[in-house]
Amino acid sequence: MAKVIDKRYEFVLFFDVENGNPNGDPDAGNMPRIDPETSLGLVTDVCLKRKIRNYVELTREGQDGFDIYVKEGAVLNAQHRKAYKALGIEPKPKKLASEDLTKFMCDNFYDIRTFGAVMTTEVNCGQVRGPVQLNFARSIDPIVQQEITITRVAVTNEKDAEKKDREMGRKHIVPYGLYRGEGYVSAPLAERTGFTDEDLDLLWEALINMFDHDHSAARGKMASRKLFVFEHESRIGNAPAHKLFDCVDAVRRDPVTPVRRFGDYEVTVDEAALPDGVRLITMI
């Protein structure tokens, strides 16, 4: 039986996009998300969790304990009924969920065990806070939002064919952007959901490889470039997270020429500044 993690972790992930839209904003015509005061690009935590979920679903499909709770086409109440059916309980509206129901959901759904979930719908399975949390990712430098006009040499219907022979459309891209995301893994919260060493290894695997199975015409060329993990000696932790994050930096090699590739940046870690009781693991 896999062992629940007994150490705290933080991590810093660098990923980039080339001629693509890493995370469109539906309230802005699906333009790449941006901080309006700084013009730095943003990628939401929800977007990154979606890619992790997709990777786990792709690589662990059919394996016990690695089902995905929030996935395309899923009906959450139907997911909850799996717990009631397994425990031989009849769902009743407004009834409080038992710990057994919540435990079943944690044991069987990787993303609940990892990120937690609020399952207090009509079919109540309780709620749980997950050990893994992510911040919004932010680009190192301001990004340029470009709107590209594209054409399709086919029309939608016969009526359109009487007036034109092609359709016009638009595509939103970032020519290049290097993004930095940060995250946390809590051992005490892992005890509540049953998040194990095996689950942790899968998290690192997903962060490294998730973009390789997420390619699309809209997202362009995306890749995980660097993943730094800080491992504490204790379950509570040996140093504040912000001090560890401050040890990692990325700067442009040439402050004048526009960046267009990962090699235009230098990513460094000040290992001498690492506090006692914290070990740096460079994954990629």
pLDDT score recorded for residue 265: 98
The answer to whether residue 251 is domain-embedded is: yes
pLDDT score recorded for residue 264: 97
The answer to whether residue 163 is domain-embedded is: no
The answer to whether residue 96 is domain-embedded is: no
The answer to whether residue 121 is domain-embedded is: no
For the chain, list residues with pLDDT below 50.
none
Span 228-260, pLDDT tens digits:
999 999 999 999 999 999 999 999 999 999 999
- Report how many domains make up the chain: 1
The answer to whether residue 95 is domain-embedded is: no
**Whole-angstrom Cα distance, residue 120 to residue 106?**
14
Structure tokens at 145: 């939002």
The answer to whether residue 118 is domain-embedded is: no
The answer to whether residue 157 is domain-embedded is: no
The answer to whether residue 76 is domain-embedded is: no
pLDDT score recorded for residue 230: 98
Span 75-84, pLDDT tens digits:
999 999 999 9
| Contact predicate 86/173, CB 8 Å | no
pLDDT score recorded for residue 180: 98
Domain extent, residue 31, equals 9-64+129-147+173-282
- In this prediction the pTM is 0.94
Residue 103 DSSP SS3: helix
What phi and psi values does residue 95 have, to the nearest 5 degrees?
-85, 135
